[in-house]
Amino acid sequence: MTSNPLYVALDTPDLERALMLARSLSAAVGGIKLGLEFLSAHGPDGLRRLIDEGLPVFADVKFHDIPNTVAGAARALSGLGVGIFNVHASGGVAMMRAAKEATLGTAVPAKVLAVTVLTSLGPQELARVGQGMKVEEQVVRLAALAQEAGLDGVVCSPREIAAVRNACGSNFLIVTPGIRPKGAELGDQVRVMTPGEAVQAGADILVIGRPLTAAKDPVAVARSLLLEIGVGSS
């Protein structure tokens, strides 16, 4: 692995704080992840402000709607200059394909990832919504559908990285949250891996929030994570 796989999750509704963190981490991370919290507060203007900082931006929007609507939203996001965004794989192959195809008409097509099974859903909750199979089986099934639809990869928990890599091959992006350096606070994350373990299992991009954003010296933490993975930061 040569490029920087760390994407910092800027989970804040505070635009100035997000800009400050992006600036201070710009030489130590490979990209920024913005989720619904930031995007609902600041919309396309806030997104543009972060994109203008120069790092690749992953918009964690998790679209799930009919193909025509998702295609329109995908075209708009890709047109703004977002580097990566995601859709729910459970929206179906036609929807995923429509999202990907919509990006192709924009200046720099965004990469499109599929969300497989939300990590907040355990086996019991999955069974209640009619998905009674094992979580890993469902994740691999949805990852295969995403690949069939022409998507660039998936977001999955550290626990499913190896199974997805095995099923989908090397030319498929695997992005994983739930990353914690050794000895770090888990917060509300349960199924975690260290950055080294996740890369070893086959992850391409590691989404890390609080271990960086809540640190006294986020740049120093990022550099120590890169050292653990064996990537030199620029």
Least distance in angstroms from the C-beta of 140 to ligand C5P: 16
Number of residues that bind ligand C5P (CB under 6 A): 14
Contact status: 189 vs ligand C5P (CB under 6 A): yes
Integer Cα distance of 14 and 5 in angstroms: 25
| Closer CB to ligand C5P, 71 or 189, in the complex | 189
Dihedral sign computed on CA atoms, order 233, 180, 31, 149? positive
Contact status: 119 vs ligand C5P (CB under 6 A): yes
Least distance in angstroms from the C-beta of 186 to ligand C5P: 9
Q: What is the pattern of x (binds ligand C5P, CB under 6 A) and - over residues 194-213?
A: -------------xxxxx--
Give, as one character, the DSSP assignment of residue 193.
B
| Closer CB to ligand C5P, 5 or 67, in the complex | 5
Least distance in angstroms from the C-beta of 104 to ligand C5P: 26
Name residues contacting ligand C5P, limited to 4-33 (CB under 6 A): 9, 11
62 is catalytic: yes
Name residues contacting ligand C5P, limited to 34-53 (CB under 6 A): 35
Residue nearest to ligand C5P (CB): 209
Amino acid (1-letter code) at residue 191: R
Element (H, E) at 174: strand 173-176
Exposure string (b/e) for 37-75, b if CB count within 10 Å is 16 or more? Answer: ebbeebeeebbeebbeeebbbbbbbbbeeebeebbebbb
Q: Which is the catalytic residue, given 62, 100, 111, 216?
A: 62
Closest C-alpha to 228, from 162, 21, 206: 206
Least distance in angstroms from the C-beta of 139 to ligand C5P: 11
Closest C-alpha to 71, from 90, 53, 33, 98: 98
Cβ neighbours of residue 65 closer than 8 Å, sequence gap 6 or more: 73, 91, 95
| Closer CB to ligand C5P, 58 or 102, in the complex | 58
Q: Which residues make up the interface to ligand C5P (CB under 6 A)?
A: 9, 11, 35, 118-119, 177-178, 187, 189, 207-211
As annotated, the active-site residues are 62
